[in-house]
């Protein structure tokens, strides 16, 4: 566990953890030495009280140093605990930000929520509470055994052997429980995912009268209860086995003493001294074993953090097999192919260019791949085949900052931050003046709505924008995109939740943006499409037609079929 933590932590925090381990190891050695000296002092007291002074002085000195070192170690431990948790949160947050959106399945989202809210805070207690007894359980018996060599080297060896046996017993019982813990965790994650689904899909569950969904949830919760019982059932035999082994080892040490007494190779005072130490070491070992369950859980948590961190992020660098960049200041899409996870190909051999200025409309039947094209242009995923270039540079060779500085999006599943309308719009360009924000609000058709809301731009939108209607949310997103004035603006279904008047306002804004940069609109609205400088027609993941409305409207093909369906298709 320690090794994994060192690997995960940034250099500064890892160094602090090493420092803490050294202090704890020193404290454990001093603890063992003090125990050994206790045995020697008792032996000296029983043998001849006059010889006790040097042992007693050594014992007191060892105890004093031990207490000081232990205090320092504990102070460091609390600080390292909180810094470790913070560093893990930051590391996970940074890593999640670089993962493709396809990674965020509901079950993985549940895992991440569980790790961020429960797992990582639990790990905070590892340096502060669990590391010390773990190190003590191993190091203190070793140090005590070596100190006992001052009294009898045979006992020293016997204690070393007993320590090794105790250690292996504890590891064996831990291994038994780990498999059950893993199973329990899997059903807990499944239950969390069911709970999230049950909570978020209430409208569907109620209106569709789906009693099975509640059944799924209660089955998942039953499984959690059963797995917890199984887990408790495995921990108990492990603890009993460890306790039994400790008692057998203690009896063996006593038996050895009796045998050596009978052979007159050991005196009774040494035997008493050694057995006192052995009894104390049994207690130290048992404390370590009792905390082993907590340690196991933390190790499992750490394994799950490693699993998240091992997920392949979208990388930045020169892509393999890259061809010479095309001299174009807009977007060029070359032979694009894409499949979600290992599913079917949803885009196949798609190539097109967006000139550095102008409005392009992407049209096609539902499921033809329009949103997927927009997602690849925004690099939410990397293409399975082909490439996307912005001003001649493959998106994969650009850092996230470089790309997103040039990109504004209004997507179907856009999210508003839990702050005011004004702040949400301003996230696009924090340095924007009040006049620029007002202009974006006007151009997005938000003016009347903002005036009607209490507080105007200071109106809080609620989590995810829940205090706004669908159309209001969409217009805030449009205003945000307008304020950004990016080189490329992607509008996916941007006018779907708008009434005709506001829809026209947004289209005017899109045309305005298209005078300064590239605008790609995915729309089902004839007015938008007819006014575009270029129309791209997708059918089942393939680009089947391109041109202007005038060029395509009378040509037999999908476009003519689509527009013949009416104003909206
Ligand atoms: N996250 C996803 N995981 C797996 N498959 C997906 C995912 N998103 C979309 N698809 C599939 O990819 C195909 C193209 O979907 P896409 O959303 O790009 O189509 P679209 O043309 O935008 O459709 P619509 O007009 O209905 O929004 C569909 O078959 C869809 O089922």
Instruction: Say if 194 falls within a structural domain.
Output: no
Q: What is the mean pLDDT of residues 48-52?
A: 76
Asked whether residue 19 falls in the same domain as residue 160, the answer is yes
Residue where one domain finishes, among candidates 279, 310, 341: 310
Q: Which residues contact 129 (CB under 8 A, 6 or more apart)?
A: 77, 81, 291
pLDDT at 335 over 50: yes
Question: Between the ranges 213-217, 220-224, 368-372, where is the mean pLDDT highest?
Answer: 368-372
Which of 338, 371, 520 maximizes ligand 1 atoms within 8 Å of its Cβ, making it the mutation to test the pocket? 371
pLDDT tens digits for 398-441? 887 888 888 998 876 677 888 999 999 999 888 889 999 999 99
Strand pairing category for 358-363 and 534-539: parallel
Please tell me the distance between residue 374's alpha carbon and the centre of ligand 1 in angstroms.
11
Asked whether residue 239 falls in the same domain as residue 360, the answer is no
**DSSP alpha helices (H): ranges in 98-152?**
106-114, 120-125, 131-148
Q: Give the integer Cα–Cα distance in Å for 253 and 282.
A: 12
Q: What is the ipTM of this complex?
A: 0.98
Token pair listed for 483:
């304020």
Helix (H, G, I), strand (E, B) or coil at 444: coil
Return the ligand 1 atom nearest residue 524 CA: 25
Please tell me the distance between residue 515's alpha carbon and the centre of ligand 1 in angstroms.
30
* For ligand 1, atom 17: residue with the closest CA: 371
Token pair listed for 508:
């005017």
Q: Which residues contact 458 (CB under 8 A, 6 or more apart)?
A: 420, 421, 422
Q: Which residues contact 19 (CB under 8 A, 6 or more apart)?
A: 76
Q: How many domains does the chain have?
A: 2
Instruction: Say if 207 falls within a structural domain.
Output: no
Please tell me the distance between residue 33's alpha carbon and the centre of ligand 1 in angstroms.
68
pLDDT band, residue 327 (cuts 50/70/90): very low
Token pair listed for 274:
């050694």
Please tell me the distance between residue 540's alpha carbon and the centre of ligand 1 in angstroms.
10
Instruction: Say if 316 falls within a structural domain.
Output: no
Asked whether residue 300 falls in the same domain as residue 408, the answer is no
pLDDT at 37 over 70: yes
Instruction: Say if 206 falls within a structural domain.
Output: no
Helix (H, G, I), strand (E, B) or coil at 274: helix
Helix (H, G, I), strand (E, B) or coil at 351: strand
Asked whether residue 259 falls in the same domain as residue 132, the answer is yes
Which residues have CB under 6 Å of ligand 1?
340, 343, 346, 364, 366-372
Helix (H, G, I), strand (E, B) or coil at 491: strand
Out of 236-240, 377-381, 466-470, pick the least confident. Answer: 236-240
- Residue 388's H or E segment, with its range, is strand 385-390
Please tell me the distance between residue 149's alpha carbon and the centre of ligand 1 in angstroms.
74
The vertex-188 CA angle with 183 and 190, nearest 5°, equals 95
Residue where one domain finishes, among candidates 310, 345, 376: 310
* For ligand 1, atom 29: residue with the closest CA: 367
**DSSP alpha helices (H): ranges in 431-499?**
434-443, 447-452, 470-484
pLDDT at 323 over 50: no
The arrangement of strands across the sheet holding 488-492 comes to 407-410, 488-492, 518-522, 358-363, 534-539, 542-547
Helix (H, G, I), strand (E, B) or coil at 239: helix
The pTM (predicted TM-score) of the whole model is 0.67
What is the pLDDT at residue 288?
Answer: 74
pLDDT above 70: percentage of residues in the chain: 87
Please tell me the distance between residue 409's alpha carbon and the centre of ligand 1 in angstroms.
17
Helix (H, G, I), strand (E, B) or coil at 150: coil
Please tell me the distance between residue 542's alpha carbon and the centre of ligand 1 in angstroms.
13
* For ligand 1, atom 27: residue with the closest CA: 366
pLDDT at 338 over 90: yes
Please tell me the distance between residue 565's alpha carbon and the centre of ligand 1 in angstroms.
22
Which of 344, 367, 495, 544 maximizes ligand 1 atoms within 8 Å of its Cβ, making it the mutation to test the pocket? 367
Asked whether residue 172 falls in the same domain as residue 102, the answer is yes
pLDDT at 331 over 80: yes
Top pLDDT among 59 and 170 is at: 59
CATH of the domain at 119: 1.20.1560.10
Closest CA to 36 of 134, 149, 163, 167: 149
β-partners of residue 543 are 538
Asked whether residue 379 falls in the same domain as residue 251, the answer is no
Q: Residues 347, 353, 359, 365: what is their CA dihedral angle, to the nearest 10 degrees?
A: -20
Residue where one domain finishes, among candidates 253, 276, 310: 310
Asked whether residue 304 falls in the same domain as residue 377, the answer is no
Residue 26 burial (CB count, 10 A): 18
By the 8 A CB rule, do 541 and 368 touch? Answer: yes
Give Dmax (Cα) for the chain: 116
Asked whether residue 408 falls in the same domain as residue 537, the answer is yes
CATH of the domain at 485: 3.40.50.300
Q: What is the mean pLDDT of residues 310-324?
A: 65
What is the pLDDT at residue 131?
Answer: 83
Instruction: Say if 551 falls within a structural domain.
Output: yes
Instruction: Say if 398 falls within a structural domain.
Output: yes
Q: What is the mean pLDDT of residues 462-480?
A: 86
Closest CA to 175 of 253, 292, 270: 292
Asked whether residue 255 falls in the same domain as residue 351, the answer is no
What is the pLDDT at residue 209?
Answer: 58
The rounded Cα 493 to chain-centroid distance in angstroms is 31
Instruction: Say if 185 falls within a structural domain.
Output: no
Token pair listed for 113:
């929520």
Asked whether residue 480 falls in the same domain as residue 336, the answer is yes
Q: Give the integer Cα–Cα distance in Å for 396 and 412.
A: 24
Please tell me the distance between residue 367's alpha carbon and the centre of ligand 1 in angstroms.
5
The rounded Cα 545 to chain-centroid distance in angstroms is 43
* For ligand 1, atom 5: residue with the closest CA: 340
User: For all residues of the chain together, what is the average pLDDT?
Assistant: 84
pLDDT at 496 over 60: no
pLDDT at 385 over 90: yes
Structural domain range at position 40: 2-177+228-310
Asked whether residue 352 falls in the same domain as residue 295, the answer is no
Which of 105, 336, 346 maximizes ligand 1 atoms within 8 Å of its Cβ, making it the mutation to test the pocket? 346
Q: Give the integer Cα–Cα distance in Å for 113 and 297.
A: 17
Helix (H, G, I), strand (E, B) or coil at 19: helix
Return the ligand 1 atom nearest residue 368 CA: 21
Return the ligand 1 atom nearest residue 364 CA: 21
pLDDT band, residue 213 (cuts 50/70/90): low
In degrees and rounded to multiples of 5, residue 196 shows phi and psi of -60, -45
Asked whether residue 414 falls in the same domain as residue 528, the answer is yes
* For ligand 1, atom 3: residue with the closest CA: 340
In this structure, what DSSP letter does residue 396 have?
G
Please tell me the distance between residue 343's alpha carbon and the centre of ligand 1 in angstroms.
11
Place of tokens 């009978």: 262
Count the residues in the chain: 569
Instruction: Say if 221 falls within a structural domain.
Output: no
């Amino acid at each position: 566990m320690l090794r994994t933590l060192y690997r995960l932590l940034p250099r500064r925090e890892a160094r602090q953890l090493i420092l803490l381990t050294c202090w704890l190891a020193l404290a454990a050695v001093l603890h063992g030495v003090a125990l050994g000296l206790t045995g020697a002092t008792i032996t000296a007291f029983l043998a001849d009280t006059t010889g006790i002074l040097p042992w007693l002085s050594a014992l007191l000195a060892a105890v004093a140093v031990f207490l000081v070192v232990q205090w320092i170690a504990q102070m460091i431990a609390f600080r390292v605990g909180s810094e470790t948790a913070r560093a893990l949160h930051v590391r996970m947050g940074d890593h999640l930000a670089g993962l493709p959106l396809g990674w965020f399945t509901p079950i993985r989202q549940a895992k991440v929520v569980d790790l961020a809210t429960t797992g990582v805070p639990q790990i905070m207690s590892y340096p502060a509470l669990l590391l010390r007894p773990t190190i003590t359980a191993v190091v203190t018996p070793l140090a005590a055994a070596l100190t006992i060599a001052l009294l009898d080297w045979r006992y020293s060896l016997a204690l070393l052997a007993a320590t090794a046996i105790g250690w292996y017993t504890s590891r064996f019982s831990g291994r038994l429980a780990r498999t059950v813990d893993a199973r329990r965790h899997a059903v807990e994650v499944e239950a969390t995912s069911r709970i999230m689904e049950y909570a978020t899909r209430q409208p569907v569950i109620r209106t569709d009268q789906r009693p099975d969904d509640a059944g799924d949830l209660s089955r998942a919760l039953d499984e959690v209860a059963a797995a917890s019982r199984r887990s408790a059932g495995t921990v108990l035999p492990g603890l009993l086995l460890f306790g039994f082994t400790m008692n057998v080892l203690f009896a063996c040490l006593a038996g050895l003493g009796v045998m050596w007494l009978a052979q007159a190779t050991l005196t009774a005072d040494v035997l008493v001294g050694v057995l006192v130490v052995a009894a104390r070491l049994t207690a130290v070992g048992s404390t370590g074993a009792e905390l082993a369950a907590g340690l196991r859980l933390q190790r499992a948590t750490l394994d799950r953090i490693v699993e998240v961190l091992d997920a392949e992020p979208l990388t930045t660098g020169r892509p393999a097999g890259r061809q010479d960049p095309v001299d174009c200041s807009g977007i060029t899409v070359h032979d694009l192919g894409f499949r979600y996870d290992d599913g079917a190909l949803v885009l196949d051999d798609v190539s097109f260019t967006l000139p550095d200025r102008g409005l392009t409309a992407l049209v096609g039947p539902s499921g033809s791949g329009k949103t997927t094209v927009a997602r690849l242009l925004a690099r939410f995923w990397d293409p399975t085949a082909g490439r996307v270039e912005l001003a001649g540079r493959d998106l994969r060779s650009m850092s996230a900052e470089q790309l997103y500085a040039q990109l504004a999006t209004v997507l179907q599943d856009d999210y508003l931050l839990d702050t005011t309308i004004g702040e949400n719009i301003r996230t696009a360009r924090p340095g924007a003046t009040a006049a620029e924000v007002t202009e974006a609000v006007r151009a997005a058709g938000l003016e009347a709505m903002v005036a009607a809301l209490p507080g105007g731009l200071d109106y809080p939108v609620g989590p995810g924008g829940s205090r706004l209607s669908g159309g209001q949310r969409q217009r805030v997103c449009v205003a945000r995109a307008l304020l950004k004035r990016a080189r490329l603006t992607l509008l996916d279904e941007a006018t779907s939740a708008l009434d005709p008047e506001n829809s026209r306002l947004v289209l005017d804004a899109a045309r305005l943006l298209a005078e300064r940069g590239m605008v790609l609109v995915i729309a089902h609205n004839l007015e938008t499409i007819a006014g575009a400088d270029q129309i791209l027609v997708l059918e089942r993941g393939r680009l089947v037609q391109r041109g202007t409305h005038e060029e395509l409207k009378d040509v037999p093909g999908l476009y003519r079929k689509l527009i013949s369906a009416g104003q909206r298709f």
